[in-house]
Amino acid sequence: MSEAKKRRSTGRVTLNDVAQLAGVGAMTVSRALRTPELVSDKMRERIEAAVDELGYIPNRAAGALASATSQTIVVIVPSLTECGCGEVIAGLQQTLRGEGYQIMLGDAQHLKQQEESLLTSFLQHNPAAVVLFGSDPGETIRQRLQAARLPVVEVGAMARSPIDMNVGVSNFDAGYQLTRHLIERGYRNIGFLCARQEQWMLQQRMQGWQKALLDNYLSPDAIINTSERPSFSTGAAMLGEFLLRWPELDALVCVNDELAAGVLFECQRRHLNVPGKLAIAGFDDLDVARACYPALTSVRIPYQRMGEEAADLILRQLVGEPVMGSALTLDFQLQKRQSS
C-alpha cells in the first residue's frame, strides 16, 4: 500500500509531533485528547506533558475545513441479511465510536448499480473513509474511490487488487480445507450449493472446493448456483434438485450455514440420515450450526475482528500514521462436527 496520505504543512505543531515526543502512536494521542478516560493515567500524563512542552493546540474545526471531511465512515454491504455483516459492523462501531466517528450504512441489495449509486450519494457527504464488505468492486467504484483519495478498506475476502487496504480471510483456502476434510472422511461425490455466486468471497469458496476435488481426481460437476437469497428455505428447496440430478451424492458443501441448515432440516423431513446418507458442511459457524442436531461442520470466520482491524487501519491513516502493507489476512478455523 502507498504511504499514508499527507496533509499540506502549515508550520504548526502537529499531532504527530506530540506523538513523537511522547513516544506513542498518533492514534493514542488522538484517543487521549478525545476520550482521556480510555487511556491509562501514566500514558495520559506523558501525552499531556508533550502537549504542554510543544504548545500543541487541537483545532478540530480548522482540521475539518482543511481536510473537507466529516466524522462519518461509510460502510456499504451487499445485504443487511448477509452472514457476518452484523459482526463486522459491531467490530467497526466498537473501535470507531471511541474516536468520535459514526457509521453511514448502505445496503446494496446484491446489485452493483445500487452499490455505485449508494457510493456516489455518500461521497457527497465528504466521509472520512469508506468500508466495502464482501464484494469485488467494479471499475466505476474503483475509479471514484481513487479519485476521492480517502482511506478505503475492503473487508471479508482477500481482494485480487485492493483499492487501498484489505482485511479478510482466504476464502479459497477455507473452501479447500473444508472439502479436503470431507475427502479424508471418505466422501467421493461432493456437491456444492451456492447462492448469489457473483460475490467474490463466495466465488473463492467455490474455487477452493473445485481445486480440492481436482487435486484428488474427483469430479467438480455437482454444483448448483441459485439466484435466490441464501436462506434456510433455499437450502431445503435445493436438496431435491441435487438428489434428482446426482443420486450418488454423498456430501454437500453449502456456501453458508443458513443454506446448510436448510439442507439438514429437509434431510430430516425426508428421513435421510446425516451423515450416513449425506454429509453436510457450511461456512461462517453461525449459532444455528452449533445448535442444530446433528451439529454442522463449518468454517468459523472472524467477522467482528475484521471490523476491528479495518477500523484500526482507518484511524491510523486518518491521524497520519504510515500503514505498512495493504492486506491483512486473518485466520479461519475448521469446526469438525457430527454432520460430516
What are the pLDDT digits (tens) for 272-304? 999 999 999 999 999 999 999 999 999 999 999
Q: What's the confidence (pLDDT) of residue 324?
A: 63
Q: What's the confidence (pLDDT) of residue 8?
A: 40
Over residues 2-12, the mean pLDDT reads: 44
Whole-number Å distance between alpha carbons of 306 and 108: 20
Q: How far is CA 242 from the centre of its chain?
A: 30
Say whether pLDDT at 103 is over 90: yes
Over residues 227-248, the mean pLDDT reads: 94
Considering only residues 257 and 9, tell me which one the structure prediction assigns the higher pLDDT: 257
Cβ atoms within 10 Å of 287's Cβ, excluding its own: 8
- What is the per-residue pLDDT across 133-142, written as a single tens digit (0 to 9) for each? 976 788 888 8
Q: What's the confidence (pLDDT) of residue 148?
A: 84
- What is the per-residue pLDDT across 135-185, written as a single tens digit (0 to 9) for each? 678 888 888 888 888 899 999 988 888 889 999 999 999 999 999 999 999
Domains and CATH numbers, the chain: 15-58 (1.10.260.40), 70-170+303-331 (3.40.50.2300), 171-300 (3.40.50.2300)
For residue 109, name the pLDDT band (cuts at 50, 70, 90).
confident
If DSSP states are collapsed to H, E and C, what string results for the chain?
CCCCCCCCCCCCCCHHHHHHHHCCCHHHHHHHHHCHHHCCHHHHHHHHHHHHHHCCCCCHHHHHHHHCCCCEEEEEECCCCCCCHHHHHHHHHHHHHHHCCEEEEEECCCCHHHHHHHHHHHHCCCCCEEEEECCCCCHHHHHHHHHHCCCEEEEEECCCCCCCEEEEECHHHHHHHHHHHHHHCCCCCEEEEEECCCCHHHHHHHHHHHHHHHHCCCCCCCEEEECCCCCHHHHHHHHHHHHHHCCCCCEEEECCHHHHHHHHHHHHHCCCCCCCCCEEECCECCHHHHHCCCCCEEEECCHHHHHHHHHHHHHHHHCCCCCCCCEEECCCEEECCCCC
For residue 59, name the pLDDT band (cuts at 50, 70, 90).
low
Q: What's the confidence (pLDDT) of residue 149?
A: 86
> With contact defined as beta carbons under 8 Å apart, do 165 and 107 qualify?
no
For residue 223, name the pLDDT band (cuts at 50, 70, 90).
very high
Instruction: State the pairing for strand pair 327-329/298-300.
Output: unpaired
Considering only residues 311 and 27, tell me which one the structure prediction assigns the higher pLDDT: 311
- Average pLDDT over the chain reads 88
Say whether pLDDT at 219 is over 70: yes
Say whether pLDDT at 69 is over 70: no
Angle made by CA atoms 236, 218, 226, in degrees to the nearest 5: 30
Question: pLDDT above 90 covers what percent of the chain?
Answer: 56
> With contact defined as beta carbons under 8 Å apart, do 328 and 288 qualify?
no
Say whether pLDDT at 7 is over 50: no
Q: What's the confidence (pLDDT) of residue 171?
A: 95
Q: What's the confidence (pLDDT) of residue 197?
A: 65
For residue 11, name the pLDDT band (cuts at 50, 70, 90).
low
Over residues 91-115, the mean pLDDT reads: 89
For residue 311, name the pLDDT band (cuts at 50, 70, 90).
very high
* Residue 30: all three cell numbers together: 488522538
pTM of the model: 0.79
Say whether pLDDT at 9 is over 60: no
Q: What's the confidence (pLDDT) of residue 128?
A: 92
Over residues 100-125, the mean pLDDT reads: 88
Whole-number Å distance between alpha carbons of 248 and 270: 16
